[in-house]
Homo-oligomer: A and B are copies of this chain.
Amino acid sequence: MNHSNQYEVGKLFEEVTIETKKIFDGKVISLQVDTVTLPDGSTATREIVKHPGAVAVLAIRDDKMIVVEQYRKPLGKSQVEIPAGKLDAGELPQAAATRELEEETGYIAESLIPLTSFYTSPGFADEIIHLFVAEQLVQGSMQTDEDEFLEVMAFTLDEAFTAIRAGRISDAKTISAVYAWQIKKLTGHWPL
Contact = CB atoms under 8 A, between A and B. Distances in A.
Contacts of A11: 71, 77-78
Interface residues of A, number: 81
B71 A124 contact: no
Interface in A70-87: 70-75, 77-79, 81, 84, 86
Contacts of A44: 147
A78 B176 contact: no
Contacts of A86: 123
Contact of A124 (B28, B128, B175): B28
Nearest to A54: B123
Q: Which of A10, A11, A23, A129 has the most CB of B within 10 A?
A: A10
A28 B182 CA distance: 35
Contact of A123 (B24, B46, B74, B176): B74
B117 A120 contact: no
A13 to B, nearest CB: 4
Interface string A141-164: 000001101110000000001001
Interface of A: 9-15, 17, 23-24, 26-29, 31, 33-34, 36, 38-40, 42, 44-49, 51, 54, 69-75, 77-79, 81, 84, 86, 116-129, 146-147, 149-151, 161, 164-165, 168, 170-173, 175-176, 178-180, 182-183, 186-187, 191-192
User: Which 4 A-B residue pairings sit nearest by Cβ, starting from the closest?
Assistant: A179-B179, A10-B77, A172-B172, A44-B147
